[in-house]
Structures are given as C-alpha cells and as structure tokens.
Amino acid sequence: MIVALDAMGGDHGPSVNVDASIMTVNSFKHIDVMLVGKEDVLAHELKSRGYSGDRISIINATETVDMDESPSLALRRKKDSSLRRAVEMVRDGKADAAVTAGNSGAMMALGLVLLRPVEGVDRPALAAAMPSEKNPFLFLDMGANVDCSPDNLFQFACMGSAYVKHVMNIESPRVALLSIGEEANKGNELTKDAYKLLEGSRMNFIGNIESKAIFRGDADVVVCDGFPGNVFLKTTEGLADILLKMIKEEIMSSSLAKIGYLFMRSAMKKVAKRMDYDEYGGATLLGINGACIITHGRASAKAIMSGIREASDYAEKKVYQKISQEIQSYHEIKQ
C-alpha cells in the first residue's frame, strides 16, 4: 500500500511528518509513504535523518494550506498545495490513501471535490474511534456537518455501521443516537425524526444515548449532528485539561500530596495517555470514494504513523465501497 502524507500539515510541520514516515516504513513492511510538500525541505529532512531507502518517495508541492485558512479559499486558490496534491495522488491512483495533520475543513472540501461522495451519501462525515470503559466506539459527525437532516443522520449511521463492521470487525454494530434523554420522545425535532428512520431500518439500532453514558461503552457507533458532536468532543478535551491542572494545583498546595505524587506519577501519566486522543490515530472522512484520514494538528510522529496505518487498512479493505453497498441495502429495506 502507498499512503500520500501531507508532509507540510500540522502544528509541527515537516519534521514530525518525516519522522512519522520513517517510523512507518520501519514498522510496517506493507506500507510505503509518499511525502508531499516542498521537495528541497523534505529531501533535506530525510537526509539529515540518514534515511536512504526506496520506500519513502517525495512529490513536490510548492504551497501550504494554513491551519486556520478558509477551506473554500484553500480549494479555489491553492492549486499546488501539499494537501491538494496528496488527495490528487489518491484520485489518480498513484496512492491508496491520503493523510494530513493539517486543516481538517480543507481536507474535507478537497476529498469531496476531488474524490466525490459515494453513491447514496449526501454529506460525507468525519468519524473517529474513541476510548470508553470497555471497547472503543466510533463517533460521528465530529463537526464537519451542521444543520443536518434526519436523512443525513440516517446515512451517518449506515456509514458508521459499515466502518465498524469492516474495520473494527464487529458483526452487528450497536448504533446509538446522541440525545438528551434515553426515551424515543426525548431530544429535538432532528433526533426524534432520525430515531424513527433508524428504528425502521435493519441496523442494530439500540436507541438514544446521553453524553454522560457514552463512555460506558454500550454502543459501537454514536451518531449526531456535527454541532453537538463538536461540542461533545471539545468538552472532553477542555475538561480533561482542567482536571489535570486542578490535580496539579491541589498537589502543589500540600507537601504530603507532593510526596504521594512521586509514587503515583506513572499511574497519572497512564491515565493522561488513555484519555489522549493523539493515541487514537485520526479521524476518517467517511462517504467519499477514497481513504482520507485527518490526525490532530498537535499529533506526534507516533500518532501520525497510526493515522497512516489506519488509512492503509481502510484503503486495503476498500471500506468506502462497502459503505456504498451497505447504504444501498439499507435504503432498499427502508423503501
């Protein structure tokens, strides 16, 4: 498999991407990496790390999409960006998948325009595997789609279900709808209508789930509009930060606690790691004809490598084709 990596993307720029590419080819015999970006910069970075193999290639791209750049401007004006070239490699069959730690909105727009949505999907969605007390679950939409229709949510559920079945190998994924009460009549107009569609389908729909119960791990797929979805994700991020900060403050205000912390430090670090989404690879753009993965902007080389492995796996299993088949079959039953 060949994965095109937007080597200029992310908060740390080329160095961490080049590190990730070397880690990848050293760890996985079946994945080659195509570094896309400024040729001279990337050649220098590779050379300075002493890499001289032939499993990492470089594709030149003279422009870079900034993290906070408007996706539509990036799409229209930056025809030679590293992000665009990486997605073009997939479109042209020169790479099997594309990965970026860069601008997620721009990746979404490029994936949509260059690779097109799969049949039966109106709006592709951004999905990520997240930790729970039990097994990981797939959460979508992470914020790419707001003002969704009940049909959009139904399609998200189909896509998520197909992803979990084929990538996470769960035969009949339990699909839940994020709402603000467990009963069918709890929620807003959107979730109540989506509930009816899901209930009438042959998906393994287990009903509404509240955000406080998500981490218990009772669902394999959790579906919602991108607005509450993004609120959910960013709340977990902000709260984990403030809790760790508070724990530090309380520790520093007591000498007994300071002594205790010396013994507990590694346990606390393990908790921080279990909650760190960087450890969970990236977000997948579900519902386009190709494999596009977006990692966190702050992703480490290791996190980017796990995004690359995920992308390769997704492409190898041709999950996007399976998504299209699943959606067709769910629609047939529905009608």
Question: What is the per-residue binding string for a second copy in 244-283, x denoting contact by CB under 8 A?
Answer: -xxx--xx-xx-xx-xxxxxxxxxx-xx--xx--------
- Closer of 16 and 214 to a second copy (Cβ): 214
Instruction: Please give the span between the terminal C-alpha atoms of the chain, in angstroms, as a whole number.
Output: 38
What's the closest the beta carbon of residue 75 comes to a second copy, in angstroms?
16
- Closer of 206 and 268 to a second copy (Cβ): 268
Virtual torsion, Cα 251, 257, 258, 264, nearest 10 deg: -100
Q: Looking at the chain, which runs of residues are DSSP E strands? A: 2-6, 32-37, 56-60, 97-100, 125-130, 137-140, 174-178, 204-209, 221-223, 283-286, 291-294
Subset of 173-192 contacting a second copy (CB under 8 A) = 178, 180, 187-189, 191
For residue 43, state whether it binds a second copy (rule: CB under 8 A): no
What's the closest the beta carbon of residue 155 comes to a second copy, in angstroms?
18
Cα gap 270→264, rounded to integer Å? 10
What's the closest the beta carbon of residue 262 comes to a second copy, in angstroms?
7
For residue 23, state whether it binds a second copy (rule: CB under 8 A): no
Cα gap 8→126, rounded to integer Å? 21
- Closer of 178 and 303 to a second copy (Cβ): 178
Show Cβ contacts of residue 178 under 8 Å, excluding neighbours closer than 6 positions.
191, 208, 209, 210, 211, 214, 222, 223, 224, 228, 229, 232
Contact 317, 122 (CB under 8 A): no
Residues that bind a second copy (CB under 8 A): 132-133, 143, 146-147, 178, 180, 187-189, 191, 210-216, 226-228, 230-232, 234-243, 245-247, 250-251, 253-254, 256-257, 259-268, 270-271, 274-275
